C-alpha cells in the first residue's frame, strides 16, 4: 500500500469527515454567498457554520472577500483548490449514490 502523509490524511478527514463542511462546499459551488445565506441554505446553526468556514478557510478551500459597501459585507467563495475538492466530492457522491450493492452468493 502506498504511504500517505499523516498530515494529508488529517486534512482530508477534517474536510470530508464533517457534514457541515460538505454542505457548505456544495452550497458555494453554486455561487458566492454571505454567512447568513450559507447558514440558511445549508440549514445549520451559526456556531457549526462558523466552525466549518474557519476550517475551510484554513485549508484554503474557501476564500473570504470583503465588499466595500456600507455596511461592509463579507462574501465567501470557493478557491481553485475548493473547486477541485468539489469535483472529487461530486464524483464520489455520483458513484456512491448510483452504485448498487452487489449480491453475494454463498459457495
Which of 1-5, 39-43, 58-62, 82-86 has the weakest average pLDDT? 1-5
Residues 61-79: pLDDT tens digits?
Answer: 999 999 887 788 999 999 9
CA atoms within 13 A on the CB side of 68: 0
What pTM value is reported for the model?
0.79
What's the confidence (pLDDT) of residue 103? 60
Q: Any idea what DSSP says for residue 54?
A: H
Q: State the CB neighbour count (10 A cutoff) for residue 37.
A: 14
Residue 97, φ and ψ in degrees, nearest 5: -75, -25
Residues 8-36: pLDDT tens digits?
Answer: 888 788 888 889 999 999 999 999 999 99
Task: Please give the Cα distance from 63 to 48 (Å, whole number).
Answer: 18
Residues 35-62: pLDDT tens digits?
Answer: 999 999 999 999 999 999 999 999 999 9
Contact 25, 63 (CB under 8 A): no
CB proximity list for 23: less than 8 A, separation 6 or greater: 42, 43, 44, 52
Amino acid at each position: 500500500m502506498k504511504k500517505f502523509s499523516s498530515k494529508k490524511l488529517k486534512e482530508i478527514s477534517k474536510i470530508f469527515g464533517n457534514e457541515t463542511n460538505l454542505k457548505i462546499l456544495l452550497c458555494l459551488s453554486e455561487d458566492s454567498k454571505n454567512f447568513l445565506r450559507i447558514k440558511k441554505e445549508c440549514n445549520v446553526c451559526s456556531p457549526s457554520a462558523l466552525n466549518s468556514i474557519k476550517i475551510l478557510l484554513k485549508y484554503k478551500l474557501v476564500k473570504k472577500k470583503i465588499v466595500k459597501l456600507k455596511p461592509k459585507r463579507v462574501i465567501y467563495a470557493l478557491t481553485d483548490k475548493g473547486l477541485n475538492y468539489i469535483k472529487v466530492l461530486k464524483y464520489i457522491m455520483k458513484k456512491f449514490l448510483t452504485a448498487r450493492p452487489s449480491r453475494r452468493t454463498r459457495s
